[in-house]
Amino acid sequence: MNDRYGHQVGDEYLNQVALRMKRQIRPGDLLARLGGDEFAVIVTRVRKRTDVEEVAQRLKASFQPPVTVDGHSLSGSVSLGVALYPEDGGTDDQLLTAADGAMYAVKKLKDQR
């Protein structure tokens, strides 16, 4: 989007999508922008993996419908990876690495289809 519409439009798109994502997480969960178009969500009070998968599905849905910025209808998508403490890592870095690995594994499966 930055290349086509400029950084101001790209930044506003990210701001609007971040607000949508924030509305999809539960009280006590945390949404953080790591940089560029990369975000992390810390989901608290998890009893089973499906708790996190439900939040992930709501986050994916937050990219629909398109976002309108400066008269442009902008559509985006999301790639998600899930990591659980302590099964997938014991530190922040380990969990982020595991989530990245999970995300790339899903992307690879999609590319093979």
Q: How far apart are CA 100 and CA 94, in angstroms?
A: 10
Which is catalytic among the residues 3, 11, 29, 37? Answer: 37
Who contacts 14 (Cβ-Cβ below 8 Å, separation ≥6)?
33, 37
Q: What's the rounded mean pLDDT across residues 14-34?
A: 95
Q: What's the sign of the alpha-carbon dihedral 14, 20, 25, 30?
A: positive
Instruction: Give me the pLDDT at residue 107, please.
Output: 86
Q: How far apart are CA 59 and CA 99, in angstroms?
A: 15
Residues 27-60 pLDDT 10s: 999 999 999 899 999 999 898 989 999 999 999 9
Give Cα 91 to chain centroid, integer Å. Answer: 20
Say whether 111 is catalytic: no
CATH fold of 2-112, please? Alpha-Beta Plaits (3.30.70)
Domain boundaries, the chain: 2-112
For the chain, what's the residue count? 113
Q: What's the rounded mean pLDDT across residues 82-99?
A: 95
Q: What is the pTM of this model?
A: 0.86
Name the β-bridge partners of 67: 74
Q: What's the sign of the alpha-carbon dihedral 92, 97, 103, 106?
A: negative
Instruction: Give me the pLDDT at residue 15, please.
Output: 95
Q: What's the rounded mean pLDDT across residues 89-98?
A: 96
